[in-house]
Structure 1
Amino acid sequence: MTGGTVASQAGERTDGAKARRRVELRDFLMSRRARVSPAEAGLPEGGRRRTPGLRREEVAVLAGVGASWYQWLEQGRDISVSPQVLDSVARVLKLSGTERRHLYVLAGLNPPAPQAERDAEHMDEGLRRLIDTWMPYPAHIMDRYYNCLVYNDAAAMVLGMRPETTQNCILDFFTDPMYRSRSVSWARNAVTLVAQFRAACSEHPGDEGFQDLLARLHALGEEFTELWERQDIRPAGLVHKEIDHPLAGILHVESTALKVPARPDLTVVLHTPLPLADTAAKLEWLATPEARRGSMYRVAG
């Protein structure tokens, strides 16, 4: 097969994909337009309509674009589009964050960063149920600034999460004496955590929340600063934690950081027992009334 033939076939595949995307763009816009009533768009009803939803001309006026241009967009013609115009169309058609990103893709543009779907029905309650169901294993949820929003009973029992800490996962990692006394793998995991935090900061340049947190971490002393100055970058992922619990002894767990597409501002951290030191059985025991009574008589840490 010659180079020209390969290039020709690649071009045909690209043209075919582009044609299918234009058809999907047409169908998508028509379906979204049909579900928005004139009243929802702030327009008078204007009598009976042959088809539901807004007319093309009405979408164009409300979005501040030419009627012909919007018609060409909905017809899937090869026209120039900008993010600003697509955002205007998305606003008129009341697209969700996921739908807006889909519109960008169909129009041939790079989609914007995911945004939290604040109106996702029962999302927060569902995430709370998720970490409660993870019992007897530790689980918690944090925001993009590492603030711990909620944790289950196992996270309190095993990791020492409690109201009197800063409730910020990276600050508590460096400052909570209870966690530090229990974490056998603290020094190794500190290298990973700081590298992951640097990666998170790099994804949000100029973000005041990250800058404020970074300043607080540097103020703790040289321990964090020395790790930060290594310039290490690592993605969030699996971390092996070795915990010396005052009641259960050595525990080996693997933490997994998970993103939820509908709430990209949140991270769910689940801890799974590793097949070492009978960890699963120990975690199950720590969730029993017997272990809870025993914890009341032990000195913190």
Structure 2
Amino acid sequence: MTLRQFEYLVTVVDEGSFTRAAELLHVTQPALSHQIRALERTVGTPLLDRLPRTVRLTPAGRAWVPHARAALAEARRARTAARRAADLEGGELRLATLYSFTLGGLLPPVLRRWRAEHPDVRVDLIEHRHADELRESMARGDADLAIGPDPVNWAGYREVLGVEEFVVVLPPDFAHDGPIDLCALKETGWVHYATTNGLAEVLDNACRTRGFQPRVAVRTEQTAAAPVLAAAGLGPALVPRGVLPDVFDGTVLRPDPPVRRTLVAYAHRAPDPLTAAFVALLAGAGWDA
């Protein structure tokens, strides 16, 4: 079996079609089918069910594909490491993070400085809505480095970057001085997040510690939409401080007690020199916000 066969299998699965996979891989469909069948002979069992209009994984295929993806990711990392060790021009740095980090003021300034110092290194961003998705992505080896909330029971490399502060956003005419106890808003309908957005869990946990479950006035999938909806009067929103622009038409209050989460950079193993240089830039960026 070969990495090319792994790539062919994964592409067929992702495209749901031998025809589309062959076009994407720039091979003929008979050649693609031949390689998949050769892989199945090596494994000793069919990996795909060929249906009239699509293909689907057999139980053996469902067990096999995660290993194929991991092998392809490891090969990609090995190729990148070799290029870096040889000090070739260019190369790439694959970063996995959350949408809220690229939307707000946390990650873009670091990327801007990195680009100025390493103009020939391409950065590929893999963005996720939920911290659990980010952790699963890194467990598959999808990126060189993850930047996000502290992952539970992570056995690999981990570097603490700082603490992310959350604030409560309310309409501009909301009259309140100083920090606000979330209990003061327990009878109010909140701007909540869809369950696909990890901030839904942050809000639920913050309110739970204050003894109530937030009532939902409206749900949004987009982190950037929550403060806009809150400022428009649809209900309070709990948002990362970093996603708010410097000029914002809304009342912004710190919760009391504070709502925070630890931010880290993490990976399977200690970073190579190029990734380590990016981590050093991250660590010096003042992530406490």
**Structure with greater helix percent:** 1
TM-score by length of 2: 0.30
TM-score of the aligned structures, taking structure 1 as reference length: 0.29
- RCO (CA 8 Å, sep 6+): is it higher in 1 or 2? 2
Structure with the greater alpha carbon radius of gyration: 1
